Structure 1
Amino acid sequence: MITDIYNWQDQAKEYFIKENYVQAANLYEQAITIEPNTISYYWDLGLLLLLQGQEAEAQMTWMLPMTEADEEQLEMWTNELFKVLQIEAQRREALAEYSLVWLIRQHIREINPTHINNLLQIFLLSIRLQKFEQINDFKEWGLIELLNTKEKIEINTELLMEVLKEFLNIAHLHPINLNLIEASLPYFSDPHQCFCILLPAAMQIGHTLRQPLLAASLLELYLQLEPDNVENLRHLATFYQDARNYSQGIETARLCYSLSESLADKIFALHLMLRGLMSAGGYWQEICTTCEELETVYKQFIKAQRIPLEEGRILRLLTPSFAIPHIKDAPADFRAIHNKVAEIFQNYIQPFSQSQGKNYVRKIINNQSLTHHPKKLKIGYISYALRNHSVGWLARWLFQHHDRDKFDIHTYFVNYTLVNDYLQEWYLTQAGKARQLGINGLEIADQIYQDEIDILIDLDSITLDITSEVMALKPAPIQVTWLGWDASGIPAIDYFIADPYVLPDDAQNYYTEKIWRLPQTYIAVDGFEIGVPTLRRDDLDIPMDAVVYLSAQRGYKRHPETTRWQMQIIKQVPNSYFLIKGLAEEETIKRFFYQIAEEEGVDCSRLRFLPQVHSESVHRANLGIADIVLDTFPYNGATTTLETLWMGIPLVTRVGEQFAARNSYTMMMNAGITEGIAWTDEEYIEWGIRLGKDETLRQQVVLKLKASRQTAPLWNGKQFTREMEKAYEQMWQNYSGSQLYGIQT
C-alpha cells in the first residue's frame, strides 16, 4: 500500500534497477488507483509488464488511456510512450541485452510503424539474433516505401549503411537489393560511403558467386551519384564483359580510358578495352591500335620517376600485358617491357606490405635443417583456378599422384567460391591441407608463411593480380610458376617450369626466372571424361563424305592472319567445311569470319558457327565431328589441344617463339606426333591441305594418337608427377647448398 504519494516513485525506481519488476508494478497499479488521470503511470506499468513477459497485458495497459483520448491527446500520448520505450531500448542495448531490445523495438514498431530508424534497428537486431528468415517480412515493414517517400525523413545514415552491408551479405542475389540500394541513394551526403558498400558486394556477387550481370546492376545504380567515377567504371566494364555484354563493356572501358589521368590508370583502362575487344572477337584494327597504345603507355610508365600508388593501382600493373602475346609473337621485345613492369610491381608491393607490418624474411636456424631436411618437403599450391577452369582440368593428375610419404601438400584456394562446382570439390579432397581463402593478398601470404611452406607453386601467373601480390611478397623461400600462363617476371619467383619444346633454346636470355626444363613435358594428363555427343553432320547440313575442319577457341585468340590461312585451306580442299566454336560476340565474330572468307574467295555457306554446350565432357565428345582441327596463332590452344589429341584428331599448329605459340608443339611432340607441326605460315597451309586431301594420312595420325595413350609422356600423369617431385627435391638441394655456402662465408 502506498503510504507516501510523493516518495513511492523512488521506491519503484529502486525495484526497477534491481529487476524486481513485480513489486515495482504493484506500486504503479496502486498509483493508478489513486491518480487514474496521470497518463505516464500507464506507460511505466506497461513497460514493467512487458519486462515480465506479459506482452498482452502490457499492450492492454498502454491502450487504456488511448481509448478515451481525442486526436490531439492521442498524438501527444503516443509520442510519450514512444520515448519511454526508446529510452529503455537504448539502455538495454548499452547492456548488450539484445533479445530484450528486439522485443521492445517490436512494440515501438506497433506504436509507430513508420519510424524508419527503429525499423533499421530491428533489422540489425534480427540479423544479430538470427531471427531474420524471410525477405517477405522485410517487405512488409515498408522500409523501401518509406525511403522513397517525397517527404523529408530524419534518418541515421550510419544505421542505413549498416543495414545495406548486412542485407547485401545475407541476401547476395535477391532482387530486393537493387530496390533497397536505389531507395537509399538520396540519403548519402558522401558518395564515397555508398561506394565503399557497393563495390565489395558487387565483387563478391560478380566474381565469387559468378553473377556478373547482377553485380553490374549494383554498380549501375552508383552512376546516379557519380557518373564519372573511374573506379566504378572499371569494375562495371569488367562485369559487362564477364556477362558477355561485350559492346557495353567496350564502351564503358573507352569511357574509363577517356577519364583516366595517371599512367597507371591508363594502363588498366587500356587493358579493359583490349579485354572486351578481344573477347568479342573481330575488332582487329582497334585491337592493334589499342595494343600499340598500351605498349607506349607502359614504356612511359617505366621511364617515369616512381610515383606513389595505393594498393589497388599497384595490383593492376601486371595483368594488362596478358593481352600482348595474343596479338604478336615477339617474346624478347614483350618480356623486355613486361619484366621491367614486374620488377616495378614488386618494388611497390614489398614496401607497402612492410608498412602494414608484414616482412617475410626467412631465417635458417642451423646447418642441419638445410643439409638434412628432417621433415617432408612442404609444397604449397596457390590458385584461383582449381575449379571448372582449364587449370583445374589439367592440374589434377599432379595432385592425384603426389607421393604423400615424401611431400606434405598444402593448397591455397584464392577467392574460394561457395557455388556448386564438382571440380572444386574434387580438389578439396586431394589438396592435402586446404585453405579456403578470400582476396586479401596479405592475409594469404600470412597463411603461407605461418604454414612454413618450403616451395610455393603459383598456378595463376599474372592472370590474377591477388596471386601476383602474394608471390611478390615472397612468403616461401622457393617460389615457382607452373601451368597457369607464361612466367610472370616477378623477381621474387625463382623458377619457371618448362620442357625441351615449349620455350626455344635461347629463352633464358629474356626470362628473369631460371627456366627449369623437365625432361619430357611440362604437363601430362591421364585422360579426359567424354560425354555423349550432341553434334551430328546431318544436323549441320554437312554431307557424310565431307572433310570437316574445326577451330574451337575463344574470341581473343582469333587473329586475322591465321584466319586467312584457314580460309586458304578450306578453299583448296574440295567438299570441305569449317566449324567455328568459342566464346565471342556472335554477330561480331560472324562478320569477322565472313569478311575474310569473302576476301579469300570462300563461299560463306561452308562455314558453321557452333553453340556452346552445357558441359566439358559433351564439348570433348563433340570434337569427334571434326576430321582435322586447325590451331590458332600466335596464341595456340592448350587445354583444347590436349582434348583434341586425346580424342585422336589430327591437328595443324604453327610454332612460334613465345610460350603461348608453342603449347601445341610440345603437346604433339609428347604425344609422338609430328604430322601437322608447321614452322612457317606456308607450312601451316600445306599441312592443312595435305591432311584434308589425304585420308590415308589422316587415318595414320588417328591410329598413332590412339596408340599414344599407352606409351606417350603426355598421357602419363604419374610419371610426370615423379619428374615434378624430383625437380622440387633438386630445387631444395640447390637452395640448401646456397644457404650453407652463405653461412660458411
Structure 2
Amino acid sequence: MTFDSLLINSTDWQQQAYKSLIQEDYYKAVSFYEQAIAVEPERKSHYWYLGLVLLLQGQMEEAQATWLMAMIDGEPEQVDEWNEELIQVLQAEAQRRSARADYFTALAIREQIRCAQPAALDNLLHLIQLAIQLETFTGDELHTLEVIELLRTEQSLSVDAKWLLQVLEDVIDSAPLHPSTQEFAEVCLVHVQHLPNALGVLLLAAIKIAATLQQGKVAVRLAELCLRINSSHTELLRHLSSLYQNIGDYDQGIEMARRCYALSKTLADEVFANHLVLRGLMHAGGRWEEASLVLQKQQSLLATLLEEQPTDLSQTTVVRLFGSSYFFPYFRDRPQENRKIYNQVAQLCQTNIENYAKEHIERYYQRSKVSSNVGKSTKSLKIGYISQCMRRHSVGWLARWLFQHHDRDRFQIHGYFVAANAYQIGSNQREDSLHEWYINQVDKANLLGIDTLEIAEKIYQDEIDILVDLDSLTLNITCEVMALKPASVQVSWLGWDASGVPTIDYYIADPYVLPDAAKQYYSEKIWRLPKTYIAVDGFEVGVPTLRRDDLDIPCDAVIYLSSQGGYKRHPETARWQMRILKAVPNSYFLIKGSADQKSMKSFFEQIAEEEGVDFSRLRFLPDVATEAVHRANLGIADVVLDTYPYNGATTTMETLWMGIPLVTRVGEQFAARNSYTMMMNAGITEGIAWTDEDYVEWGRRLGKDEVLRQKIASKLKASRQTAPLWNAKQFTREMEKAYEQMWQKYVEGGG
C-alpha cells in the first residue's frame, strides 16, 4: 500500500499533512495528524502516520504509545489487521527513504518493523542491506537477527530468490571472511541454486577473496558450494583446480584439472586443462615421472594446435594459451626448442587478438606512426611499468631500486598495477606495505582490474612512450596487453624469460644471462646492458629463528641449504646434491620451499637411498613469517646449492648479500644462467660449474675447505661497496640510457 492510496478521499489538510511529512516539516505534520485524529478518531491510519512522524523526530516511545493507543481496544483479529496496516505504512516510508539513500532513517523504521514482526525475513534482509550501506555490517547480524536460522527452517521461501541472491552477494562483498558468511551462503544456496547466475555469483566471490585477500581456504570453501549447483561446469573446475593448488591441496587441484580435461570440448581447452594438471604436479614437487609424462602430452597437444592454426579463438581462450608452455625450462635446458614453442604459441595468440581486437590495434598503430613522425627525442620520456608483482613478491623486492633511483627530471614514471582493484572488497583488502610504497613512488599510479582492453586503453590514453612488462608469461593478462601494442616502444624485463609476444620490441639482458647465440631464437631484440640486467642496494635482514641445536645438527657439521619451490627440484640436480653430501662427512642438507611436504620427503628419500646417503642427514624447513627472517635464516648455511636447469634468482641475490658461498650449474637458457650473471656481477667465480661433474666437485670442495668459504664470504662482503650487482643507482642510469637509445631509434624509424 502506498501513501497516495491511504489519502484517497482525505480532506485538504490531510493531504497537507502528508506533504509536510515528505518535506520533513515534522512539527506541522504532527499538528495536521492530531487534527485528523480529532476529526476522525476511528480512522486508524491517522495514528499510524502520527506515530511515524514522531518516530522520524526521534521520539520512539511517543510513537509506540500512539500506535498502542490506537490498538488497545481492539479484538485480537482487529489488532492483527491493524498491525498489518501499520507495517505497510512503515515499509512504504522505509522504501522511500532507501530510494533517497537516507539509509539511517530507513534502518530506524525497519527496526520498528522488527519489533512488531521479529521473524519477517523480508524486513531482516533489508536490515542487513541497510547495515551494509551504512558500513556498519560486521557479519554478526546474520545470527543476531536469526536470518540463518530462518532460512535453514523455511521450506518455502517467503522472499524473491533473485533478491536473496543479491543480498548474499552484498554480504560476501562486505564481510567475506566472517564465519557466518559461509553459513549464510550455504543456507541461501538451497533457495537460489536454480537461478542461472547463482554459480557465477559464488564463483566470482571466491576468486575475489583469493585474489585480493589471499585467503585461499575461505575461497575454496565458497567455490566448493558451486559443485552442488553443477559439478560438471568446466569453468568452475578450472578455477577450483587453481584455488586448491594455491592453498597446497595439490591432489584435489590435480583431480579438478583432470575432470576439467575429460569434459573439455575443444583442443585449446584441453591444452589449458592439461597445463593445470602439470601445474599441480610441478608445484607439489617430487612427482617428476608423472609430470614428465604430462609435459610430453602438453607438447603433443600444442603441436596439434599449432598445426591447426585456429583463428577464431575467444579472448578467454587466447589469454589462457599464453602460459600453456610455461613449464618447459624446468625440465630441460634446450632454449632453441623451448623458445620455438613460446614464439609459435605467442604468434598464434597474436593472430587471434588481431581478429577480435582489430579496431583497438589499428587505432594504437595510427597514433604510434604519428608519434614517430613528430620526433620527440628531447622530451621527458613517459615510462610505464605494468605488473601484478609490484608488491611483496620477488619481482617487487628487486624492481623497487629502479623506481627509487629514477631521474624524475628526465622521466615520468607511470605504474599499471594489474589486478590491483579488480577484486577489492571493502576495507578488508590485505595490507601490503611494498605495494603502497610503489603506489607512492610513481608519478601516476593506475590501480587496474583484469580487463585487458581497459588496461591497454588506459596506457594508450596516458601516451606512454616505453611500456615495460615485469611479468612476461607469469601473468597471461599482461601478455595480451602487450600484444595490443598500446605504447610506442615495448620492453620485457625481470619477471621471467621473454614471452615471445611479437609486439614486444626488446628484451633486457646483460653479457652473461644469455649466450651470444640467443639472438637466433628470440623473437624480441636482445638489449644487453653493459654489466648486469638487475641490481639492488641491499636487502632488509631480520632476526634469525633457526639454530643448529633446534635442528639436532652438531656445531662442527657442514650445512648445505637449498631454498627453492618444489617445481625447481629436478631429480638429476637432487642426485648431484646427494653425491656432494656423501662426499663430505658430517654434513647435513636443509631443504626449504613451497611444496607438498610428504611428496618432497618421499622424493628425496628415494634419491638419497639410491645414492647411498642416510636420509636422517636431511632436514625439511617450514616457511617463515617474513622475507627479512628468511634472509636472516640463510646465515645458518655454510654453502647454498642452486637448482638446475632452473636457477634461483631472488634467492641467489639474497644468498650473495648474506655472504654465503653458492654452487650453481650454468646452462644455455635464461633460467639456467641467472645465478651465473649474479655471481659474476658480485665478483665471484668460485662455485660456478659448467658441467654436472663440476657442480658436484664445487660442492665437495666448498664443504671441505673452510678457508675457501671464509675467503668467498670476505670477497662478498667487500663486493657490497664495489660490485655492479649492489649498485642500483648505476644500474638505473644504464637502464635510463637504454630507454633513451630505444626511443631515439624509434623516432628515427629504426626501432
Partner residue of 1:16? 18
1:300 to 293, 297, 304: 304
The 8 Å contact of residues 472 and 491 in structure 1, kept in 2 or not, is answered as yes
Give the CA deviation at 1:87.
3.9
Give the CA deviation at 1:359.
4.4
Q: Which amino acid is 1:276 matched to?
A: G
Deviates more, 1:163-172 or 1:78-87: 78-87
Given the superposition, is the C-alpha separation of residues 289 and 8 from structure 1 closer, same or farther in structure 2, using an over 3 Å criterion?
closer
Q: Structure 2 CA distance, aligned partners of 1:93 and 1:702?
A: 69
SS in 2 for 1:223: helix
Q: How does 1:273-672 map to 2 (within 5 A)?
A: 273-306=277-310, 308-353=312-357, 359-363=363-367, 370-416=374-420, 418-672=429-683
Partner residue of 2:268? 264
Measured against aligned partners, the alpha-carbon deviations of 1:50-103 in whole angstroms (never above 9, x if no partner) come to: 456554333323223433333333333322333333344445555666555444
Q: Structure 1 CA distance, aligned partners of 2:88 and 2:336?
A: 75
Given the superposition, is the C-alpha separation of residues 586 and 7 from structure 1 closer, same or farther in structure 2, using an over 3 Å criterion?
closer
User: 1:676 aligned to 2:676?
Assistant: no
Partner residue of 2:186? 182
Given the superposition, is the C-alpha separation of residues 89 and 10 from structure 1 closer, same or farther in structure 2, using an over 3 Å criterion?
farther
Given the superposition, is the C-alpha separation of residues 507 and 39 from structure 1 closer, same or farther in structure 2, using an over 3 Å criterion?
same
Q: Structure 2 CA distance, aligned partners of 1:387 and 1:541?
A: 36
Given the superposition, is the C-alpha separation of residues 374 and 84 from structure 1 closer, same or farther in structure 2, using an over 3 Å criterion?
same
Q: How does 1:40-189 map to 2 (within 5 A)?
A: 40-50=45-55, 54-90=59-95, 100-128=105-133, 130=134, 132-188=136-192
The 8 Å contact of residues 250 and 280 in structure 2, kept in 1 or not, is answered as yes
The 8 Å contact of residues 547 and 575 in structure 1, kept in 2 or not, is answered as yes
Measured against aligned partners, the alpha-carbon deviations of 1:533-559 in whole angstroms (never above 9, x if no partner) come to: 332333323333333222111111001
Q: Which amino acid is 1:508 matched to?
A: K
Deviates more, 1:477-486 or 1:346-355: 346-355
Q: Structure 2 CA distance, aligned partners of 1:739 and 1:605?
A: 61
The 8 Å contact of residues 640 and 661 in structure 2, kept in 1 or not, is answered as yes
The 8 Å contact of residues 666 and 690 in structure 2, kept in 1 or not, is answered as yes
Q: Structure 2 CA distance, aligned partners of 1:719 and 1:50?
A: 70
2:696 to 664, 681, 685: 685
Q: Which amino acid is 1:710 matched to?
A: Q
Q: Structure 2 CA distance, aligned partners of 1:618 and 1:514?
A: 39
Given the superposition, is the C-alpha separation of residues 621 and 534 from structure 1 closer, same or farther in structure 2, using an over 3 Å criterion?
same
Partner residue of 2:425? none
Partner residue of 2:734? 723
Given the superposition, is the C-alpha separation of residues 45 and 468 from structure 1 closer, same or farther in structure 2, using an over 3 Å criterion?
same
Q: Which amino acid is 2:130 matched to?
A: L
Give the CA deviation at 1:739.
7.3
SS in 2 for 1:690: helix
Give the CA deviation at 1:368.
9.4
The 8 Å contact of residues 494 and 513 in structure 1, kept in 2 or not, is answered as yes
Q: Structure 2 CA distance, aligned partners of 1:707 and 1:27?
A: 90
Give the CA deviation at 1:656.
1.5
SS in 1 for 2:530: coil
SS in 2 for 1:411: strand
User: 1:697 aligned to 2:708?
Assistant: yes
- The two structures have a TM-score, normalised by structure 1, of 0.92
Q: Which amino acid is 2:184 matched to?
A: L
Deviates more, 1:324-333 or 1:160-169: 160-169
Q: Which amino acid is 2:600 matched to?
A: I
Give the CA deviation at 1:370.
4.3
Given the superposition, is the C-alpha separation of residues 21 and 707 from structure 1 closer, same or farther in structure 2, using an over 3 Å criterion?
closer
1:250 to 246, 249, 254: 254
Measured against aligned partners, the alpha-carbon deviations of 1:583-617 in whole angstroms (never above 9, x if no partner) come to: 11112111110110001111112212222222222
The 8 Å contact of residues 381 and 412 in structure 2, kept in 1 or not, is answered as yes
Q: Structure 2 CA distance, aligned partners of 1:518 and 1:373?
A: 21
SS in 2 for 1:479: strand
Give the CA deviation at 1:648.
2.2
Q: Which amino acid is 1:156 matched to?
A: D
SS in 2 for 1:502: coil
Deviates more, 1:549-558 or 1:400-409: 400-409
SS in 2 for 1:378: strand
SS in 2 for 1:588: helix
Give the CA deviation at 1:40.
4.3
Measured against aligned partners, the alpha-carbon deviations of 1:679-729 in whole angstroms (never above 9, x if no partner) come to: 222222222223333344334333333333232222221221111111101
- Structure 2 segments unaligned to the other structure (5+ residues): 1-6, 422-428
The 8 Å contact of residues 121 and 159 in structure 1, kept in 2 or not, is answered as no
Q: Which amino acid is 2:221 matched to?
A: S
Deviates more, 1:352-361 or 1:212-221: 352-361
Given the superposition, is the C-alpha separation of residues 704 and 100 from structure 1 closer, same or farther in structure 2, using an over 3 Å criterion?
closer
Q: Structure 2 CA distance, aligned partners of 1:416 and 1:375?
A: 30
Measured against aligned partners, the alpha-carbon deviations of 1:17-70 in whole angstroms (never above 9, x if no partner) come to: 464776676665556556544444443444455456554333323223433333
Given the superposition, is the C-alpha separation of residues 38 and 431 from structure 1 closer, same or farther in structure 2, using an over 3 Å criterion?
closer
Give the CA deviation at 1:333.
1.4
Deviates more, 1:605-614 or 1:493-502: 605-614
Q: Structure 1 CA distance, aligned partners of 2:36 and 2:597?
A: 82
Q: How many pairs were matched up?
A: 735
Q: Structure 2 CA distance, aligned partners of 1:127 and 1:338?
A: 47
Deviates more, 1:462-471 or 1:535-544: 535-544
Q: Structure 2 CA distance, aligned partners of 1:312 and 1:306?
A: 14
Q: Which amino acid is 2:733 matched to?
A: R
Q: Structure 2 CA distance, aligned partners of 1:8 and 1:607?
A: 90
Deviates more, 1:264-273 or 1:303-312: 303-312
Q: Structure 1 CA distance, aligned partners of 2:113 and 2:199?
A: 32
- Structure 1 segments unaligned to the other structure (5+ residues): 741-745
The 8 Å contact of residues 309 and 348 in structure 2, kept in 1 or not, is answered as no
Partner residue of 2:210? 206
Give the CA deviation at 1:402.
1.5
Q: How does 1:2-13 map to 2 (within 5 A)?
A: 8-9=10-11, 11-13=13-15
Partner residue of 1:743? none
Q: Structure 1 CA distance, aligned partners of 2:374 and 2:34?
A: 83
Give the CA deviation at 1:644.
1.7
The 8 Å contact of residues 331 and 645 in structure 2, kept in 1 or not, is answered as yes
The 8 Å contact of residues 413 and 437 in structure 1, kept in 2 or not, is answered as yes
Q: Structure 2 CA distance, aligned partners of 1:668 and 1:89?
A: 70
SS in 2 for 1:108: helix
Q: Structure 1 CA distance, aligned partners of 2:146 and 2:706?
A: 72
Give the CA deviation at 1:372.
4.6
CA-based RMSD of the aligned residues comes to 2.8
Measured against aligned partners, the alpha-carbon deviations of 1:391-442 in whole angstroms (never above 9, x if no partner) come to: 1111122122212221111122223384232322332343332223333323
Q: Structure 2 CA distance, aligned partners of 1:368 and 1:582?
A: 47
Given the superposition, is the C-alpha separation of residues 309 and 112 from structure 1 closer, same or farther in structure 2, using an over 3 Å criterion?
farther
Give the CA deviation at 1:454.
0.7
Q: Structure 1 CA distance, aligned partners of 2:267 and 2:136?
A: 47
Q: Which amino acid is 1:57 matched to?
A: E
Q: Which amino acid is 1:483 matched to?
A: L
